[in-house]
Structure 1
């Protein structure tokens, strides 16, 4: 039976994730098959950077066109498009995938689409100005972001469409990225699209996301999401420090005695003071007079 180290397994998973996005992410010049495949594609009057070899880019192009972006037209048509078109956030996990979207799709295939970019290479001090310009300038069609940077408290209500080119193992990261367009001040319906390569590792990633969200929704539901759903004994246990959990587990019958002791403690607390008693006890003038 073949045994692989955890590091090699993670490398293999990362390799498959990149392959789902674009072959150029794995078929680098250092790859042993790079030269042979490049020559084969050149013989077919094609290249590795042709979007026909990357189904996700073809799907993303069609999606942007369906959103009213990238269409050719005159000056009047262009003015109408600025008012009527959708505005899109495109999220990728890898900065290198953003490079491919920018260099292989937007610039050569959709030159009429205006866009900005926000990733880890942008200094933190300049990110607010990029976000502010995108939200306030309707002539900017697309904002390219990495999921890590795009999930850090940004307000991107200028967009009404979110597209995930890549997906994270952690569903909360994707949800945080979605929330960028669902912030206070959003007045339009926000549509979210996920580009998934069928029959690949990405389907398993999305399956794990669904499983984790189901577990979270089961543990934390509407019925138990607040302290009000907790019983009195559960609330009182928050004030105790368990010094020996094993002893408690070995004596399940002690729970009733603990409840009785807790009740006795509460009964012995007495009534709370009224406001006049507090004013008399903690009067600053009386305290200063007692010091003389």
Structure 2
């Protein structure tokens, strides 16, 4: 007889989740604020003339760009991939601590371009890792290497590619670099480590850039799940429920 998820959960070690707020450094803050002001002005002008209903594509583009700016300047301009960013600095500091203590960790992001920037820094620091996104063919080989090779202690995974079906119980730490609209998708990612076969407590850290659209999306998650889904999924058809006050919140 199959056991329920609740029954399995009772048998698993503890799971601790924490939101880590990252303060943008002056240069990144300036970039973000300029971008926010640009979109605030241009969108308001467009909405005044064309109406909100006919401006949804522009709204989605603005929100995507702001989400990228909150993560790393290199997501907006590849020439800036070597710049620092609040999230990258926090992540690398935490990873060094975790890896130095001999633990294994997973890092999830929905932006493969952000994972590419992380990879470049890891390569620079000589840190071994595995990587998986939607284009990865030899998934199982990579999973087995991470699970069994004591020298491979880090796995970078695209949130959309790695949420289901992977058994990554060698990891005790999970880092989610950018918020996904649906907590269930994040939970599936965390459950790659926190599942049958896990014998140690699992610690999850969600990195959120303070005073950015990421914080606002978290607020929307609580009240308007479908709208948050549309914003992050960039689905024009679903964003019809966007109200002027929602947009004002997101651009505030």
TM-score scaled by structure 2?
0.65
1:165 aligns with 2:177: yes
1:86 aligns with 2:103: yes
Q: Confirm or deny: 8 A CA contact 2:194 2:202 kept in the other structure.
A: yes
Alignment of 1:1-292 (within 5 A): 2=45, 3=47, 4=52, 5-28=55-78, 48-52=80-84, 54-69=85-100, 84-103=101-120, 105-108=121-124, 110-111=125-126, 113-123=127-137, 126-211=138-223
Count of residue pairs the alignment pairs up: 175
Would you tell me which structure has more strand in proportion to its own residues? 2
- Show CA shifts across 1:70-98 (max 9, x none): xxxxxxxxxxxxxx511010001011111
Q: Confirm or deny: 8 A CA contact 2:180 2:186 kept in the other structure.
A: yes
In structure 2, list runs of 5 or more residues that go unmatched: 1-43, 226-252
- How far the C-alpha of 1:142 sits from its partner, in A, is 0.4
Q: CA separation in 2, counterparts of 1:210 and 1:186?
A: 30
Quote the RMSD (CA, aligned, Å).
1.8
TM-score scaled by structure 1?
0.56
- How far the C-alpha of 1:195 sits from its partner, in A, is 1.2
Q: Confirm or deny: 8 A CA contact 1:51 1:58 kept in the other structure.
A: no
Larger relative contact order (CA 8 Å, sep ≥ 6):
2
